[in-house]
Structure 1
Amino acid sequence: MRSGFRKKWDNLNLKVESVFRKRKYQKNAKIRLKRMDGGFNCDKAYEEVIIPYWKKYGYKPAKYWYQIFCDREQEIDPRYIPDDLYYGDMIPYFSNSQFRRFGEDKCYHDIWFADIKRPQTICKNIAGVFYDAEMNLITVKQAVDLCLDYKEEFLIKPSIDSGEGRLIEFFAPDKVTEKDIEKAFKDMEANFIMQASVKQHPVLSRLNPSSLNTIRVVSFFFEGEVHFLSSILRIGATNAKVDNVGAGGFACPVKMDGQLNDKAVNRKAEWVEENSIGIKFKDVRIPYFDKVIETIMQSHKKLAHFKLIGWDFSVDLEGDPVFIEFNVCPGSNQISCGPTFGDLTEKVLEEFFITRSLSNAQN
C-alpha cells in the first residue's frame, strides 16, 4: 500500500489533471456549439427532464452538452454524459492513469496480447534501446538491416501516444534506403516500433484501399463482466494512408451484427450517406465482426486496471481480427452512437456518484 504522503500527492495530481481536462472540453463544446448555430433547442426539456434526472446524483450538467448531443436525433435523452464529467472525472475513476503509458506501449503488445493476431513486428525501440521481435537486444545497425531486409511494405510509428495516425511513416521495400531508415530512427528518437503493413479484408479495402480502415470498439469492464458499448468504423480518404476523420476520412457507427449505419460523419461534422469514392455505407457489413467482439471481450478481462478501453482492430485476408492498439482514455462515441453507457447508465452513475466501490482500487 502506498504511503499516506504518496497517496495524497497522487490524488492532488489527479485533481489538477481533472481541472485541466474539464476546462479543455468545456471550451471545445462552446466552440462546437457556435459552429452548430446553437444546436438543439432544449430549454424546456433541460428544466423538466435533464435536471431532475441528474438531481438524484447531486450533479447539474450544463445545458450546452444536450444542445450538442441531442441535435442529431432532435430528441432529448438525459443519459448523455457531459464530456467534462466523462473525461475529467469518470475515466480517471474507472481506469488507473498511473498505468496508462506503460499499458498502452505497443512494444509490449506481444507480451500483453500473445494469443491475439497482431501486425508482424520487425524490430522495436524501448526507451532508446533496440530489440528484435523476440525481445533480443540488437544494435542500431542490426535494426536498420532488419528493416532493409523486409521485402514488403512496412511502417514506423511511435509506440506511445500515437493516436490519429500521428508521426506514422510508411516504407516500400523497393524504394527505401539505409539513410531513410536512419533518418526515421533519428526523428523518432525513442519509443517506436517497426511493423509490417496489414493486408486487410477485401470488404474493408474496397472502402478505401490506400488506408488500413480500422474498427474502434469501446468496451467496459463493470460488475465482473465486459460490456460492448459502441463501435465505429474509421475509413480513410482517397489516397490517404491513415484512416482518421481529421485527415479527410469518415467515422461510421457499426451495428451489433457488423452492419454499417446509413450515414457516417466527416471532418466537417456533416453526416453523409457515402464515402469519397461513392460507396454507400448502408451497403457494407464488416466481415467477421463477431470474432472481433469476442476477441475484445476475452482480452479486456485481463486488464482490470482499465475498466474503459477503446480497441482498434482490422480484419485480414483470412478473416482473422488483427489487433492494432488500444486506448484507455477512449472517446465516448456519443455524437455518433448515442449515450455512452446506454442501458447501463443508471448503474454506472450510481457507482460513480454514490457507491464508490472502486475508490481503493487505485492504491
Structure 2
Amino acid sequence: MKIQGQERHGYRKLGLKTNTIPFKMCESSGLLNDIDETFVEEVQQYWEKNYGRRVDPTLNIALLNLTGEKNVKIVPNQIMRREILPFLNDYDMAPSYVDKNLYDIFINPPRSAETVIKNIKGHYFDEDNKSIDIETAEKKLKGAETDLIVKPSRTNNGKKIKKLGFKNGKLYLNGKAVKVQRIERIYKKDFIIQKAIKQHEVMALPHPSSVNTLRMYTMRWNNEVFYISSLARYGIDNDVKDNMGAGGLCLGIKDSGEFYDVALDDRMQTYTHHPTTGVCFADLEPLPDFEGIKQFSVDCHKNILHLNYISWDIAIREDGKPVFIESNFTGPLWIGQLITRKPALGEHTEEVLQYVREKMDTTAPVLMRKDRRREAQKEIKNLEERNKELQKHLEQKEAEIKRLRNSKRWRYASRISSLITFYKK
C-alpha cells in the first residue's frame, strides 16, 4: 500500500501517530512510503498479546522499508520513554551519575580516558581528585605533552567539546595558543580535560578527525546485566565531535562486530559512504575482540545500581581495548533501534513488557525529569488558558450586571424593593 505524504487519515487509520518526531522524520525521509498492512496487523497482534493494547507501528514500518527486515518487537518511542524506562530506571537518582568529574568515583569503569585536570564549581582537581591551584592546573596541562579534549562535565549533548592541540610545548584551541585561564573563561566551571584517545584504525578510518565512539546498550534484568546492541558514531566535516545531534552519522554493528553497510544521520538520511572522506561502510573490517568489548559494557553497568537501562559511549584504543567515555540514561532510543536493527529490549522483550504491563495496572510511572518538566509546563499552559477563559467569562458577567443596573427595569425594581423594605419596618 502506498500513502501520499499529505494523506494523514490513512496513516492514523493504521495506528501511526502523525504528530510525533519519529513519524515526521521517518515520513520526510521516505521510510513510510510503502506500508505492508499485513505486517502492521502482525505488529498489532503481537503488542495486544504481550502489552494489552495496539501501538504506533511507525518504527516497525520504517525498519522494514530501511532494511527489508520485519520485526514486531521494535518498541514505540513513547512507550519506551514514558512507560518502560520509568519502571526500569530511578530517574530521581540519575543526576547522581551524570557528572563526568565523578565517573571515577561512582562508576569506576574498568578503563577510561586519562584525566589531566577537573574543574568542579570553579575549583581545580588533579587525576587523583586532589585539590590544586590554577598554576598547578596549568603545569599539568603543559606536562601532558599531548593533544587534549575539553568538555563540560554536566552535559551529554555533545556541545562545547573541543580539542586542544599540543605543539612545541603549547596548547592550541582553534589555532590560537591558550592557557587554563582562557579555557576557564570559555567554560566558566564544571569541565574536564582528558588526554585525547588514539583510536583503533577500524574506528578512525571513516573520519580520523573525530574520536569515533560506540554507543552500546545494556540492561539489568533478573539480577543480571545483559548486552543489547551497538552502533558506531562518526563525526563529519573534520569536526572533533561524533555526536549525531552535532551532525554526525551512526552505523549499526552486528553481534559479530561486523558493521552494517548503511549509516543514518539525525534527519534519517542514509549513507553508503562517509560524506567527508568517501570511505565505503561496506568495506570496513570488523571490530577486534567484539565479545570483549560487549563484556566491557556489561562490566561498566555493574556499579550503577539505580538505573537498569543504560547506553554507553565507548572508544576503542589503538590496541583494540575499549575505553569508557560516558554513560547516558535518556536519548533517542527509537532511532537506535533502526540503526542497530534490534529491539531496545532484545531477547527479553516479552518478559519486560509483561512486567511493565502489570506495574502499569497499579502504579503510575515516574517520568524522566525532562518529561516531568514538560508535563508541568503543559499543565501550567492549560491552566493559564483556562484562567483566560474564566476571566473573559467573568468580564462578560460583570458587563451584563452593569447593563442590568443601568436599565429602567432595574431602577424600578430597586425603588419597589426599597418601598417594600420601608413598609416592612
The TM tier, using the shorter chain, reads 0.7 to 0.9
Question: What code does the residue aligned with 1:203 have?
Answer: V
Aligned to 1:19: none
What is the deviation of 1:26?
5.2
Match of 2:321 in 1: 320
1:173 aligns with 2:169: no
2:42 to 41, 49, 57: 49
CA RMSD of superposed structures (Å): 2.9
- Cα separation, 1, equivalents of 2:293 and 2:69: 32
> How far off is 1:340 after superposition?
1.6
CA offsets per residue over residues 61-88 of structure 1, 9 Å max, x none?
A: 2344444344323565332211111112
**Comparing 99-108 with 142-151, which one deviates more in the overlay?**
142-151
Q: Which residue of 1 aligns with 2:383?
A: none
Whole-Å Cα distance in 2 between the matches of residues 38 and 281 of structure 1?
21
CA shift, 1:222, in A, is: 0.7
Determine helix, strand or coil for the equivalent of 1:200: coil
Q: Note the alpha carbon deviations across 1:183-214, whole angstroms, 9 max, x for none.
A: 32122222211111001112222222211111
CA distance in 1, matches of 2:26, 2:246: 22
Of residues 24-33 and 134-143 in structure 1, the stretch that sits farther from structure 2 once superposed is 24-33
* TM-aligned CA distance change 1:105 to 1:258, over 3 Å: same
Q: Distance in 1 between matches of 2:312 and 2:87?
A: 19
Determine if the alignment matches structure 1 residue 29 to structure 2 residue 17. no
Structure 2 counterpart of 1:346? 350
Q: Give the structure 2 partner of residue 245 of structure 1.
A: 244
Residue equivalent to 1:7 = none
**1:280 equivalent in structure 2:** 280
Which whole-Å CA distance do the structure 2 matches of 1:275 and 1:261 have between them? 13
CA–CA distance in structure 2, aligned partners of residues 172 and 344 of structure 1: 45
- In the alignment, the residues of structure 2 paired with residue 188 and residue 279 of structure 1 have an alpha-carbon distance, to the nearest angstrom, of 35
Q: Give the Cα separation in 1 of the matches to 2:156 and 2:31.
A: 33
Find the structure with the greater CA-based Rg.
Answer: 2
Corresponding residue pairs, total:
338
Deviations 1:67-111 (A, max 9, x none): 434432356533221111111222222111122122122111222
Contact 1:93 1:359 in 2 (8 A): no
Q: Residue deviations 1:125-158, cap 9 Å, x none?
A: 2233321111111223332332233311112101
Does the 8 Å CA contact 2:150/2:192 hold for their aligned counterparts? yes
> What residue in structure 2 maps to residue 336 of structure 1?
339
The counterpart of 1:160, out of the listed 141, 154, 158, is 154
CA distance in 2, matches of 1:170, 1:197: 8
CA contact (8 A) 1:159 1:192 kept: yes
Could you tell me whether the CA contact under 8 Å between 1:220 and 1:309 is conserved in 2?
A: yes
DSSP 3-state at the match of 1:261 = strand
Deviation string for 1:307-339 (max 9, x for gaps)?
111111112122221111111225421111232
Give me the identity figure in percent.
Answer: 25
Partners of 2:270 and 2:122 in 1: how far apart?
Answer: 44
* Cα pair 1:215 1:232 within 8 Å, conserved: yes
Q: Decide which moves more: 110-119 or 36-45.
A: 36-45
CA contact (8 A) 2:212 2:234 kept: yes
Please report the TM-score for the alignment, with normalisation by the length of structure 1: 0.83
Query: 1:131 aligns to what?
Result: 125
TM-score (norm 2): 0.72
1:183 aligns with 2:177: no
**C-alpha contact (below 8 Å) 2:107/2:303 kept by paired residues:** no
Q: Amino acid of the residue matched to residue 44 of structure 2?
A: I
Query: Secondary structure at 1:282's aligned position in 2?
Result: helix
1:23-102 matches, cutoff 5 A? 27-37=20-30, 39-42=32-35, 44-45=37-38, 48-56=41-49, 57-74=51-68, 76-102=70-96
Structure 2 residue runs of 5 or longer lacking an equivalent are 1-16, 367-425
Offset at residue 355 of structure 1 (A): 5.4
C-alpha distance 135-350 of structure 1, shift in aligned 2 (>3 A): same
Amino acid at match of 2:320: G
Residue 72 of structure 2 aligns with an amino acid whose one-letter code is: P
Is 1:217 aligned to residue 228 of structure 2? no
Name the counterpart of 2:191: 192
Distance 2:301 2:364 in 1: 20
Deviation at 1:237, TM superposition (A): 2.0
- Is the CA contact (8 Å cut-off) linking 1:42 and 1:66 kept in structure 2? no
1:208, 1:235 within 8 Å by CA — same for their partners in 2? Answer: yes
